[in-house]
Amino acid sequence: MRRVNAPALDSGGLERALEQLRAVVHGKGLKSSGVRDAVARAALQYEGHFTAEELLTELRAQGAADTHAATVYRVLPLLVEAGLIQESLLSAGQGHRYERAFEREHHDHIICTSCKKVVEFEFEAFEVLQRDISEHLGFRLTGHVHELFGVCKNCQRAT
């Protein structure tokens, strides 16, 4: 098992991501938009997991004070459809959270139920077991979400 951290996208990666978004937008008969691109850039450069509200705060901190919440909420599904970000179940019941998916390796999560700390990890044995289970049950695996919940060391010490 190894912990993973998402490496930042370089300028070439950002441009490839924006081209992928523009292709989806064009396929829907929509026009390109600087505001949509700004939301995409902010989402792709966000470190870690984020909500729409956190992304809006980040956009405004970057000087896009006139960005409306409705715009962010409209753009997020396009970013998911384009494969740039993905929804995460990290906050099931607490609203949607997102993370970058573009040019990023698959990973799983372990979440502290006390402080909400998230650790991303890869564990090949999980991947092999999931493939074996799906094959045994007659499924062709197309994806999965694997999240573990527990109490981190810091929170254990605090109690």
Binding residues for Zn(2+): 112, 115, 152, 155
Annotated binding site for Fe cation: 106, 108, 127, 144
Which helix or strand (DSSP H or E) is residue 110 part of? strand 108-112
Query: Is residue 81 within 8 Å of residue 24, measured between CB atoms?
Result: yes
Query: Is residue 21 within 8 Å of residue 30, measured between CB atoms?
Result: no
Annotated binding site: 106, 108, 112, 115, 127, 144, 152, 155
Query: Is residue 103 within 8 Å of residue 17, measured between CB atoms?
Result: yes
